[in-house]
Copies of this chain bind each other. A is one copy, B any other.
Amino acid sequence: MKKYLAISKDIREKIFNKTYKQGMKLPYEYELCEEYKCNKQTMKKALEILVSEGLIIRRRGAGTFVKNTVNTEGTPELTYGHYIKGFTKHFTSLGEVETKVLQFNVIPSDRETADKLKIKKGDFVYCIERVRKVNGIPHVIELMYMPISVITNLRQEDVEGSIYTYIEDELGKKIQGSNQLIKAYPSNEHDQSNLGLEKNEPIVEVEKTAYLTTGVPFEYSRLRFHYKHFSFYAVVNKM
Of residues 130 to 175 in A, which have CB atoms within 8 Å of B's CB atoms?
Answer: 175
Task: Verify B83–A177 contact, CB threshold 8 A.
Answer: no
Instruction: Indicate whether A83 sits within 8 Å of B180 (C-beta atoms), given known contacts A69-B217, A202-B186.
Output: no
- Of the stretches A10-18, A105-113, A208-216, the one at the interface is A208-216
Determine the distance from Cα of A199 to Cα of B204 in the docked complex, in whole angstroms. 17
B181 near A231 (CB under 8 angstroms)? yes
Whether A213 contacts B181 in the complex (CB less than 8 A), given A200-B200, A227-B202, A238-B175, comes out as no
User: In this assembly, does A38 line the interface, its C-beta being within 8 Å of a C-beta of chain B?
Assistant: no
Check A232 for interface membership: any CB of B closer than 8 A. yes
Selected from B67, B176, B181, B234, the residue in CB contact (under 8 A) with A182 is B234
B84 touches A227 (CB 8 A): no
A85 to B185, CA, bound (A): 26
Interface centre among A54, A178, A235 (most CB of B within 10 A): A178
Q: How far is the CB of A44 from chain B (nearest CB, A)?
A: 11
Asked if A190 is at the interface (CB within 8 A of a chain B CB), the reply is no
**A→B interface (CB under 8 Å):** 23, 41, 54, 57, 59, 65, 67-69, 76, 79, 82-85, 116, 118, 175-186, 199-204, 209, 211, 213-217, 227, 230-238
A-B contact pairs, 26 of them (CB 8 A): A23-B215, A57-B213, A59-B213, A59-B214, A67-B215, A68-B216, A69-B116, A69-B209, A69-B211, A69-B217, A84-B237, A85-B238, A175-B238, A176-B238, A177-B236, A181-B232, A181-B233, A182-B231, A182-B233, A182-B234, A183-B232, A184-B184, A184-B203, A185-B227, A186-B200, A186-B201
Q: A68-B211, A183-B232 are in contact. List 19 more A-B contacts (CB 8 A).
A: A68-B118, A68-B215, A68-B216, A68-B217, A69-B209, A76-B181, A83-B236, A175-B238, A177-B237, A177-B238, A179-B233, A180-B235, A181-B232, A182-B232, A182-B233, A183-B230, A184-B203, A184-B204, A201-B202
